[in-house]
Amino acid sequence: MRNVSCRRSCTVPLFPCLLALLMLLLVGLFAAPFISCARAEGQTLPVPSLASDVEDFVAPGYPLYGSDRPYAGFGTMPNAPLVFGGPGNATGQAPQGASALKDSEGERLLENLKSRRAGDRKAEARERARDIRDKALKQAAGTMAFQKAVRHGYGLLRETCEKRALIFDRIFNFRQLLLEGRVLPPVIRWMGPATSLKSGDNAQSVEATYRIESPARIVSRAPTWRDYLVTDFAALEPHQGYLPENGHEEDIWKEGVDLGWKEGLEQARQLFELNMARLVADYRGMLRFHLLAQRGMVSMPRLSEGKLGLKVGKRTLAINETVFRITVPAGFLPQKAWLDNRALP
């Protein structure tokens, strides 16, 4: 057999090479003016690299000089511009007005960050705890003073009524209003002129309205004005842990006491006025019932009684026991049952 060797010649295409040389020549001619200007200003040009080319493409105008800039170990910002100074600035000099960025608040914040210590968290926790205790002290002091002021203020008003007890007994004599000596009459409220809108094309108006507010009820004794006005209010003492321990807490405590005492006296006055208004309204309502009953406008409640006689138990003996019950409540009567020529109360 013959050994046949074949040689393949390697040839480079001429046209691509000429095109590459022409491109390099054009790049050199285009970059020559910028290189001369940069040398005239005393700057040094960076060594081009693939990384810098990529960064120029991603963020044009901010070329990298070396590697990415680290920021105090909290990561890097690739190809980030600097505010002033350093290679990130086109001139390498601080821009005009850069000193205006240094405000006093920023300097204090910067110093605070630099002076941060491990004990700062403990100090902040103590400060929060003190604020919480101050609020608790003020709340406890205000609550205690409020309760004591209500009891004290209402007690003064009640003592004033006791000094005029005979006058109150004559004015609010519920005993003379009882029915059959054991039934407290109903309370009838009176309301003046009023208008109510049912809808956009329907309205209703009245000159006066009477309503049975409370029905008749059986009582063991006639009520008095003291049942409405005499009352007591509890005033609790604060826990030992809520008492002040230093001068600062004493100031907080006094502030809470002053505020609670003032509000407590006002609350006592409002409660007394409310109870007095209820006393007057109930007495007038019962008196109004009697006036309407005399004019035949309202029926009397019917009281029934049943005698059980002798009732014997294992440990009790009841003689002549009687049971009372209201079988028919009071109510307004039809107009034809009213008495004529009588003005409404």
Give residue limits of the domains in the chain. 129-337
* Tens digits of pLDDT across the chain (345 residues): 444 444 444 444 555 556 656 665 555 555 455 445 444 444 444 444 444 444 444 344 444 444 444 444 434 444 444 444 444 444 445 455 445 555 677 887 777 777 766 556 677 777 787 788 888 888 999 999 999 999 999 999 999 999 999 999 999 999 999 999 999 999 999 998 888 888 888 998 988 899 999 999 999 999 999 999 998 888 888 777 778 788 888 899 999 999 999 999 999 999 999 999 999 999 999 999 999 999 899 999 999 988 888 888 889 988 988 899 999 999 999 988 886 645 565
How far is Cα 40 from Cα 36, in angstroms, rounded to an integer?
6
Quote the distance between the C-alpha of residue 251 and its chain's center. 26
Residue-by-residue DSSP string for 273-342: HHHHHHHHHHHHHHHHHHHHHHTTSBPPPEEEEEEEEEEE-SS-EEEEEEEEEEEE---BPPGGGSPSS-
Beta strand pairing call for 302-312 and 202-206: unpaired
Q: What pLDDT sits at residue 57?
A: 40
How far is Cα 208 from Cα 288, in angstroms, rounded to an integer?
14
Q: Could you give the angle at the alpha carbon of 222 between the alpha carbons of 221 and 225, nearest 5°? A: 130
237: its two tokens? 């003492």
Count other Cβ atoms within 10 Å, centred on residue 104. Answer: 7
First to last CA, the chain: 149
| Sequence-distant contacts of 82-91: CB under 8 A, at least 24 apart | 88/62
**Number of residues written out for the chain:** 345
How far is Cα 133 from Cα 1, in angstroms, rounded to an integer?
110
56: its two tokens? 């120029």
List helix spans (H) across the chain.
Answer: 14-40, 50-58, 104-114, 120-163, 165-171, 226-229, 247-294
pLDDT tens profile 81-133: 444 444 444 444 545 544 555 567 788 777 777 776 655 667 777 778 778 88
CB 295 within 8 A of CB 322: no
| Sequence-distant contacts of 245-252: CB under 8 A, at least 24 apart | 249/133, 249/134, 249/137, 252/134, 252/137, 252/138, 252/141
Query: With b meaning 16 or more CB within 10 Å and e meaning fewer, what string describes 133-149?
Result: bbeebbebbbbbbbbbb
CB 154 within 8 A of CB 233: yes
Count other Cβ atoms within 10 Å, centred on residue 315. Answer: 4
Question: Does residue 52 sit in helix, strand or coil?
Answer: helix
pLDDT tens profile 229-273: 998 888 888 777 778 788 888 899 999 999 999 999 999 999 999
